[in-house]
Structure 1
Amino acid sequence: MTFVEELVPHLPEWLGRQRWFGAKGREVSGVEVASVNSLTTSLTDAEPLLDLLVLAVSFADGGPVQHYQLLLGRRREARGELEHVTIGHVDGLCAYDALWDHTATAWLLEEVRAGRTIGDMRFVPEPGAVLAPPGLGRVMSAEQSNTSVVFGEKTIMKLFRRLNPGVNPDLELHRALRSVGSNDVAALQGAIEGTLGGEPTTLAMLQDFAGNSADGWAMALASVRDLFAEADLRADEVGGDFAGEASRIGETVAGVHSELARVLGTAERDPAEFAAAWSARLDAAARDAPVLLPHVDAVRAVYEAVAGLTEPVPIHRVHGDLHLGQLLRTTQGWLILDFEGEPSAPLAERRRLDSPMRDVAGMLRSFDYAAFFQLLSTDPRALADDRTAPSPLLWHAKEWTARNRDAFCDGYALRAGADPRRHGPLLRAFELDKAVYEVVYETRSRPSWVPIPLSSIKRLTAGATSDSAAG
Structure 2
Amino acid sequence: MTQPLIERDDVRPALLGSSLNALLGRWLPRQRWYAGRGRRITEVSVAAATALTPECFHLLVRVREAGEQDEAYYQLILGAAADPPPRLWQHAIGQVDGPTGGALMVYDAVHDHRVAILLLDRIRQGGRTGVLRFESFPRTSVPADLTPRAMSAEQSNTSIVYGDRLILKLFRRIQRGINPDLEVTAGLARWGHRSVPAPTGWFFVTEPVWGTLGMVQPYLADATDGWELALNSASTQGDFDKQAWGLGRTTGELHAALAQAFPTSTPEEHHLPRLAEEMLHRLKHAADAVPALRRHVPALQGIFAEAATTRSDLPLQRIHGDLHLGQVLWADGAWHVVDFEGEPSRPLAERRADRSPIRDVVGMLRSFDYAAHMSPTPRPEWAERCRTAFRAGYSEAGGFEPADAPQLLRAYEADRAVYEVLYEATHRPDWITVPLKAVARLADPR
Q: How high is the TM-score relative to the length of structure 1? A: 0.86
Paired with 2:444 and 2:74, the residues of 1 have a C-alpha distance of 43
Instruction: Mark the CA change 1:11 to 1:260 in structure 2 (over 3 Å): closer, same or farther.
Output: same
Counterpart residue identity of residue 258, structure 1:
A
Counterpart residue identity of residue 10, structure 1:
L
- 1:58 maps to 64
Paired with 1:26 and 1:324, the residues of 2 have a C-alpha distance of 30
- 1:135 maps to 146
Contact kept, 8 Å, 2:204 with 2:214, in 1: the verdict is: yes
Question: Are 1:121 and 2:132 an aligned pair?
Answer: yes
Contact kept, 8 Å, 1:132 with 1:154, in 2: the verdict is: no
**What does 1:385-396 correspond to in 2, within 5 Å?**
393-394=377-378
Question: Are 1:457 and 2:439 an aligned pair?
Answer: yes
Contact kept, 8 Å, 2:256 with 2:397, in 1: the verdict is: no
Question: Are 1:99 and 2:110 an aligned pair?
Answer: yes
Question: Are 1:37 and 2:50 an aligned pair?
Answer: yes
TM-fit CA distance, 1:25: 3.0
Q: Give deviations 1:77-120, integer Å, cap 9, x for gaps.
A: 21132111122344254322111111111111111111121122
- 1:254 maps to 252
Overall identity of the aligned pairs, in %: 41
Paired with 2:357 and 2:168, the residues of 1 have a C-alpha distance of 28
- 1:85 maps to 91
Instruction: Mark the CA change 1:277 to 1:127 in structure 2 (over 3 Å): closer, same or farther.
Output: farther
Q: Give deviations 1:152-172, integer Å, cap 9, x for gaps.
A: 121100100111111111111
Contact kept, 8 Å, 1:140 with 1:147, in 2: the verdict is: yes
- 1:360 maps to 361
Question: Are 1:207 and 2:221 an aligned pair?
Answer: no
Contact kept, 8 Å, 1:214 with 1:330, in 2: the verdict is: yes
Contact kept, 8 Å, 1:265 with 1:316, in 2: the verdict is: yes
- 1:44 maps to none
Question: Are 1:438 and 2:420 an aligned pair?
Answer: yes
Paired with 1:16 and 1:263, the residues of 2 have a C-alpha distance of 38
Q: Give deviations 1:300-345, integer Å, cap 9, x for gaps.
A: 1111112112344411000111100111110141111110112221
Q: Does the residue aligned with 1:188 lie in a helix, a strand or coil?
A: coil
TM-fit CA distance, 1:196: 5.1
Aligned partner of 1:26 among 12, 16, 39: 39
Task: Name stretches of at least 5 consecutive residues in structure 1 with no aligned partner.
Answer: 41-47, 228-239, 379-392, 464-470
Aligned partner of 2:80 among 68, 74, 85: 74
- More displaced 10-residue stretch of structure 1: 240-249 or 54-63: 54-63
Paired with 2:428 and 2:107, the residues of 1 have a C-alpha distance of 31
Instruction: Mark the CA change 1:404 to 1:310 in structure 2 (over 3 Å): closer, same or farther.
Output: closer
Instruction: Mark the CA change 1:250 to 1:196 in structure 2 (over 3 Å): closer, same or farther.
Output: farther
TM-fit CA distance, 1:49: 2.2
TM-fit CA distance, 1:63: 5.5
Paired with 1:258 and 1:414, the residues of 2 have a C-alpha distance of 11
- More displaced 10-residue stretch of structure 1: 22-31 or 99-108: 22-31
Contact kept, 8 Å, 2:133 with 2:205, in 1: the verdict is: yes
TM-fit CA distance, 1:8: 2.1
Q: Does the residue aligned with 2:35 lie in a helix, a strand or coil?
A: coil
Question: Are 1:415 and 2:397 an aligned pair?
Answer: yes
Q: Does the residue aligned with 2:342 lie in a helix, a strand or coil?
A: coil
Paired with 1:453 and 1:332, the residues of 2 have a C-alpha distance of 32
Contact kept, 8 Å, 1:321 with 1:342, in 2: the verdict is: yes
**What does 1:339-350 correspond to in 2, within 5 Å?**
339-350=340-351
Counterpart residue identity of residue 137, structure 2:
E
Aligned partner of 1:404 among 359, 379, 386: 386
Q: Does the residue aligned with 1:316 lie in a helix, a strand or coil?
A: coil
Task: Name stretches of at least 5 consecutive residues in structure 2 with no aligned partner.
Answer: 1-11
Paired with 2:117 and 2:394, the residues of 1 have a C-alpha distance of 41
TM-fit CA distance, 1:294: 1.1
Aligned partner of 1:160 among 144, 149, 171: 171
Contact kept, 8 Å, 2:124 with 2:143, in 1: the verdict is: no
TM-fit CA distance, 1:62: 4.5
Q: Does the residue aligned with 1:29 lie in a helix, a strand or coil?
A: strand
- 1:183 maps to 194
- More displaced 10-residue stretch of structure 1: 309-318 or 419-428: 309-318
Instruction: Mark the CA change 1:206 to 1:241 in structure 2 (over 3 Å): closer, same or farther.
Output: same
- 1:327 maps to 328
Counterpart residue identity of residue 300, structure 2:
V
Paired with 2:252 and 2:68, the residues of 1 have a C-alpha distance of 42
TM-fit CA distance, 1:59: 2.4
Count of residue correspondences: 425
Paired with 2:405 and 2:141, the residues of 1 have a C-alpha distance of 42
Contact kept, 8 Å, 1:361 with 1:427, in 2: the verdict is: yes
TM-fit CA distance, 1:357: 0.3
Aligned partner of 1:8 among 18, 21, 24: 21
Q: Does the residue aligned with 1:335 lie in a helix, a strand or coil?
A: strand
Instruction: Mark the CA change 1:412 to 1:64 in structure 2 (over 3 Å): closer, same or farther.
Output: same
Paired with 2:93 and 2:154, the residues of 1 have a C-alpha distance of 20
**What does 1:211-360 correspond to in 2, within 5 Å?**
211-227=221-237, 240-269=238-267, 270-360=271-361
Contact kept, 8 Å, 1:140 with 1:148, in 2: the verdict is: yes
Instruction: Mark the CA change 1:207 to 1:357 in structure 2 (over 3 Å): closer, same or farther.
Output: same
